[in-house]
């Protein structure tokens, strides 16, 4: 093998060195403009009394916003609600999504149609989902009350979204309904990549359905499960549209998750305080995401 | 080679800059300069409660464009009221440099917009305006108070006085007469709550309570009726008013959905016969008459120790960014005292601010207008502070929901409402 002359290689390297950056530059500039600058701005705002209702009072106030957030009982209640929202929301989305994926992976008549129809909740805008479910749950004219009364399960209509005990479970059911197709489709794609030979070999070895599921299906889907669950945790924790359109965070803050609290505070134009809370939310999500990713990579290496 | 590479880099960067620069341009020069023969375009934002009002505003703008004789062309753009979200949209647009030249308005937004120097001062225009005296002097004072100084930023347009709608047939069936006092009103709420078909379930609730955003307006009448006021929510009188409000819900004289019932729900409940009374203004009267014919009437929220009802206000403003404020003033004054005032108030049934229009037969012969005018002496607004919008949108609905559902006592809720509006100062 004849080694390349040093000069030629360096010229080639230089060429390669400029073009990739140049080609990436437009995308990078846009990302910097729409992601990095706003994030930096939010961090800066979190150290300011940035309240547009009092523009003349805007000034750097150090950690005062952070101290106020730590003392804010509504903040801690919202954090707790966010945890419940994510655990139950994503948890049930995953379970039902997995069931649906297994079902859609079977051969049956009309499978294509069922696959398309099952995507509907995922492609419906969150605002529309919020409005639709608000009417489903309505205490006076809602279809859910009507059905339950016709089936003699309840005698009087339940104002699901007006009661503290029922409003939060009601919005969780909605987000579960919305997210099932995402898991179903992603896991279905993963399922189609599982080699049939593995199941055939297991059949020969006399493995039952559960053994095949836990020893072949789940390990083969591990990466898909990790990635989809992490994405959903982040999206659901950040989700505002469904809750905002169903209850606005009420009644009596019963459905106010942290992202809805951030949104409400930002709507009240207290941008410094809402930036502080959004940074706290980011840190909480990082606390979940980093160990999660570490475990995922460790498993991959293993 | 090197040179051509540099040229390519430069060309790409320049193209990117060109992409970015127009995005940074602050607004369009849509108002024009008003030179001779040139059309002056004014963009006006408004909201409309139904499609009739929407069509009427477009018609008013069209008539104005055809008759103003000064080449002013108003482009009326509609945005949803969205329980107050309109003002937030307007603020975001104005701060971003994309707002309109003029806009329909609510006084509560004034401190925020004035603090951010977004509104044009109107004193110069108003002092030289021939129709200034056609508007009540006290209205000008209210406009000044909203801006927090002696300057006027807001042009009156129309008002709506809240009153109680009721169903005479239901009153007759329950043997109730129109309440003259606050105690009689509370008693009527009880008597009108009935099981009409004998199945053991309540079919009609006495009072259609609004517990969601916007409910603070009818709620205010309860506070004042017990002798309270909005300066201090923590007085025993104000707390008693809150207790009455809670009791109506707890005793089942309101629909169980009340904590989340907003405008649409209270109107739907009243129109479907689910409630016998509800509180709203004349803006709903045409829909009510359409549904019930003569079987709907109204009375002023009755007096207890005190009497108060909410004055819904609608005004117009001119933005500081407007390039041709003279033309914009021509338009907002047309809406305040001109043909625009007449047309809009006849269609919406709102109370005109122009004395000339108030004197017209249409307004003198309308029973809902009469009740509005009867309630006008007791009509007022909530304190306009920079905290008011958040208080209305978040603090009030959540605190009252907590009180209605038994999480907070009346006293605790009032303490929180006080803090939400006035901070820690008393």
Cβ distance of B405 and A164 shorter than 8 Å: yes
Same domain, B197 and B247: yes
Same domain, B194 and B343: no
Residue B389 at interface with chain A, using a CB cutoff of 8 Å: yes
Same domain, A25 and A154: no
Same domain, A21 and A74: no
Same domain, B270 and B411: yes
- The rounded mean pLDDT for chain A is 89
Same domain, B396 and B373: no
User: What average pLDDT does the segment A140-164 reach?
Assistant: 91
Same domain, A116 and A157: yes
Residue B214 at interface with chain A, using a CB cutoff of 8 Å: no
- Closest-CA residue of B relative to A22 is B9
- Give chain B's domain count: 2
Out of B16, B265, B402, the one facing A29 most closely (by C-beta) is: B16
Structure token digits, residue A213: 């599921």
User: What average pLDDT does the segment A24-39 reach?
Assistant: 93
Which CATH number does the domain housing residue A152 bear?
1.10.3720.10
Out of B260, B387, B399, the one facing A162 most closely (by C-beta) is: B260
pLDDT at B35 over 70: no
Out of B115, B212, B394, the one facing A53 most closely (by C-beta) is: B115
Lowest mean pLDDT among A7-11, A179-183, B72-76: A7-11
Confidence of residue B274 (pLDDT cuts 50, 70, 90): very high
Confidence of residue B197 (pLDDT cuts 50, 70, 90): confident
Write down the pLDDT at residue A9. 55
pLDDT at B249 over 70: yes
Min Cα–Cα distance to chain B from A30, Å: 10
Q: Quick check: is B26 in a domain? A: no
Same domain, B119 and B84: yes
User: What average pLDDT does the segment A94-98 reach?
Assistant: 95
Same domain, A117 and A5: no
Write down the pLDDT at residue B13. 44
Out of B16, B88, B260, the one facing A267 most closely (by C-beta) is: B88
- Closest-CA residue of A relative to B83 is A248
Min Cα–Cα distance to chain B from A213, Å: 46
B233: helix, strand or coil: coil
User: What average pLDDT does the segment A92-118 reach?
Assistant: 90
- The rounded mean pLDDT for chain B is 87
Question: Are the CB atoms for B398 and A250 separated by under 8 Å?
Answer: yes
Same domain, A72 and A85: yes
Cβ distance of A139 and B394 shorter than 8 Å: no
Q: Quick check: is B304 in a domain? A: no
Same domain, A106 and A24: no
Cβ distance of A251 and B211 shorter than 8 Å: yes
Same domain, A30 and A68: no
Same domain, B74 and B143: yes
Write down the pLDDT at residue B389. 83
Same domain, B130 and B184: no
Same domain, A134 and A210: yes
Cβ–Cβ contacts within 10 Å for residue B293, how many?
8
- Give chain A's domain count: 2
Cβ distance of B12 and A54 shorter than 8 Å: no
Write down the pLDDT at residue B30. 44
Cβ distance of A164 and B394 shorter than 8 Å: no
Same domain, B275 and B244: yes
Same domain, B135 and B167: no
Same domain, A275 and A182: yes
pTM listed for this prediction: 0.79
Q: Quick check: is B3 in a domain? A: no
* Domain carrying residue B412: 163-280+385-422
Same domain, A35 and A52: no
Interface test with A, best of B85, B87, B259, B269 (most A CBs within 10 A): B259
SS (H, E, C) chain B: CHHHHHHHHHHHHHHHHHHHHHHHCCCCCCCCCCCCCCCEEEEEEECCCCHHHHHHHHHHHHHHHHHCCCCEEEEEEECCCHHHHHHHHHHHHHHCCCCCCEEEECHHHHHHHHHCCCECCCHHHHHCCCCHHHECHHHHHHHHHHHCCCCCCEEEEEEEECEEEECHHHHHHHCCCCCCEHHHHHHHHHHHCECCCCCCCCCEEEEECCCCCCCHHHHHHHHHHCCCCCCCCCCHHHHHHHHHHHHHHHCCCCCCCHHHCCHHHHHHHHHCCCEEEEEECHHHHHHHHHHHCCCCEEECCCECCCCCEEEEEEEEEEECCCCCHHHHHHHHHHHHHCHHHHHHHHHHCCEECEHHHHCCHHHHCCHHHHHHHHHHHHEECCCCCCCHHHHHHHHHHHHHHHHHCCCCCHHHHHHHHHHHHHCCCC
A264 contact residues in B (CB cutoff 8 A): 393-394
Residue appearing with tokens 């299906």: A217
Q: Quick check: is B271 in a domain? A: yes
Residue B397 at interface with chain A, using a CB cutoff of 8 Å: yes
Same domain, B82 and B100: yes
**Percent of chain B predicted with pLDDT > 90:** 62
Confidence of residue B37 (pLDDT cuts 50, 70, 90): low
Same domain, B45 and B151: yes
Confidence of residue B159 (pLDDT cuts 50, 70, 90): confident
Same domain, B167 and B276: yes
Same domain, A101 and A244: yes
Cβ distance of B401 and A252 shorter than 8 Å: yes
pLDDT digits (tens, 9 = 90+) for A226-277: 889 999 999 999 999 999 999 989 899 999 999 999 999 998 889 999 999 9
Lowest mean pLDDT among A118-122, A256-260, B4-8, B324-328: B4-8
Q: Which of A62-66, A114-118, A296-300 has the highest mean pLDDT?
A: A62-66
pLDDT digits (tens, 9 = 90+) for B401-418: 999 999 999 999 999 999
Instruction: Identify the DSSP state of B279.
Output: E
- Closest-CA residue of B relative to A142 is B257
Which CATH number does the domain housing residue B223 bear?
3.40.190.10
Q: For residue B127, what are the contacts with CB-CB under 8 A and spacing of at least 6?
A: none
Predicted ipTM of the assembly: 0.77
pLDDT at B104 over 50: yes
For A187, what's the count of Cα atoms within 13 Å in the CB-facing half-sphere? 27
Q: Quick check: is B189 in a domain? A: yes
Pairing of β B309-318 and β B72-78: unpaired
A51: helix, strand or coil: strand
Q: Quick check: is B244 in a domain? A: yes
Q: Quick check: is B325 in a domain? A: yes
pLDDT at B40 over 70: yes
Cβ distance of A140 and B268 shorter than 8 Å: yes
* Domain carrying residue A162: 46-301
Same domain, A89 and A2: no
pLDDT at B158 over 50: yes
Residues 124-143 of chain B with CB under 8 A from chain A are none
Write down the pLDDT at residue B327. 96
Q: Quick check: is B14 in a domain? A: no
């Amino acid at each position: 093998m004849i080694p390349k002359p040093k000069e030629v290689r360096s010229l080639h390297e230089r060429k390669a060195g400029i073009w990739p950056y140049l080609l990436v530059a437009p995308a990078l500039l846009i990302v910097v403009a729409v992601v990095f600058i706003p994030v930096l701005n939010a961090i800066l705002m979190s150290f300011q009394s940035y309240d547009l209702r009092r523009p003349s009072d805007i000034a750097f106030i150090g950690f005062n916003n952070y101290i106020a957030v730590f003392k804010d009982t509504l903040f801690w209640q919202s954090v707790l609600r966010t945890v419940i929202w994510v655990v139950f929301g994503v948890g049930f989305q995953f379970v039902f999504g997995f069931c649906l994926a297994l079902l859609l992976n079977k051969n049956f008549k009309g499978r294509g149609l069922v696959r398309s129809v099952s995507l509907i909740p995922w492609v419906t805008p969150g605002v529309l989902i919020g409005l639709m479910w608000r009417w489903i749950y309505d205490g006076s004219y809602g279809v859910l009350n009507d059905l339950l009364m016709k089936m003699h399960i309840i005698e009087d209509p339940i104002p699901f979204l007006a009661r503290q005990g029922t409003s939060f479970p009601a919005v969780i059911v909605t987000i579960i309904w919305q997210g099932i197709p995402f898991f179903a489709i992603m896991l279905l794609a993963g399922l189609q990549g599982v080699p049939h030979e593995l199941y055939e070999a297991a059949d020969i070895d006399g493995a039952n359905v559960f053994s095949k599921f836990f020893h072949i299906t789940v390990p083969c889907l591990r990466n898909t499960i990790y990635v989809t669950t992490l994405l959903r945790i982040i999206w659901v924790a950040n989700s505002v549209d469904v809750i905002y359109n169903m209850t606005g965070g009420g009644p009596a803050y019963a459905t106010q998750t942290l992202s809805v609290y951030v949104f409400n505070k930002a709507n009240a134009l207290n941008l410094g305080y809402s930036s502080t809370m959004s940074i706290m939310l980011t840190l909480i999500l990082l606390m979940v995401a980093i160990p999660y990713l570490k475990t995922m990579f460790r498993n991959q290496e293993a | 080679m090197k040179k051509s590479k540099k040229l390519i880099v430069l060309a790409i960067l320049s193209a990117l800059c060109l992409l970015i620069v127009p995005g940074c341009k602050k607004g369009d020069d849509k108002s024009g300069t008003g030179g001779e023969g040139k059309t002056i375009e004014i963009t006006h934002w408004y909201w409309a409660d139904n499609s009739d009002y929407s069509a009427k505003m477009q018609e008013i703008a069209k008539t104005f464009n055809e008759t103003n004789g000064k080449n002013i062309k108003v482009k009326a753009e509609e945005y949803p009221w969205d329980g107050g979200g309109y003002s937030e949209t307007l603020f975001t647009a104005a701060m971003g440099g994309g707002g309109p030249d003029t806009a329909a308005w609510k006084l509560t937004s004034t401190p925020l917009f004035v603090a951010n120097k977004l509104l044009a001062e109107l004193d110069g225009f108003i002092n030289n305006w021939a129709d200034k005296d056609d508007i009540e002097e006290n209205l000008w004072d209210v406009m000044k108070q909203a801006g927090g100084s002696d300057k006027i930023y807001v042009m009156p347009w129309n008002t709506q006085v809240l009153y109680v709608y009721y169903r005479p047939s239901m009153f007759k069936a329950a043997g109730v007469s129109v309440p003259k006092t606050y105690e009689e009103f509370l008693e009527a709420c009880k008597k009108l709550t009935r099981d009409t078909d004998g199945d053991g379930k309540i079919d009609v609730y006495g009072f259609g309570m609004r517990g969601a955003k916007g409910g603070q307006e009818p709620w205010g009448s309860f506070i004042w009726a017990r002798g309270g006021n909005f300066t201090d929510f923590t007085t025993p009188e104000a707390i008693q008013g809150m207790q009455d409000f809670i009791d109506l819900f707890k005793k089942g004289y309101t629909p169980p959905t009340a904590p989340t019932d907003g405008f649409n729900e209270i109107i739907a409940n009243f129109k479907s016969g689910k409630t016998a009374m509800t509180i709203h203004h004349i803006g709903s009267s045409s829909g009510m008459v359409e549904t019930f014919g003569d079987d709907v009437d109204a009375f002023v929220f009755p007096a207890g120790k005190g009497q108060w009802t909410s004055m819904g206000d609608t005004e117009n403003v001119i933005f500081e960014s407007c390039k041709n404020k003279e033309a914009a003033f021509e338009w907002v004054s047309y809406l305040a005292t001109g043909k625009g005032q007449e047309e809009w108030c006849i269609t919406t049934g709102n109370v005109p601010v122009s004395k000339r229009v108030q004197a017209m037969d249409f307004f003198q012969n309308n029973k809902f207008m009469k009740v509005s005018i009867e309630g006008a002496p007791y009509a007022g607004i909530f304190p306009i502070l920079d905290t008011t919008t958040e208080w209305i949108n978040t603090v009030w609905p959540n605190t009252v929901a907590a009180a209605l559902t038994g999480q907070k006592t009346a006293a605790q809720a009032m303490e929180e409402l006080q803090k939400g509006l006035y901070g820690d100062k008393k």
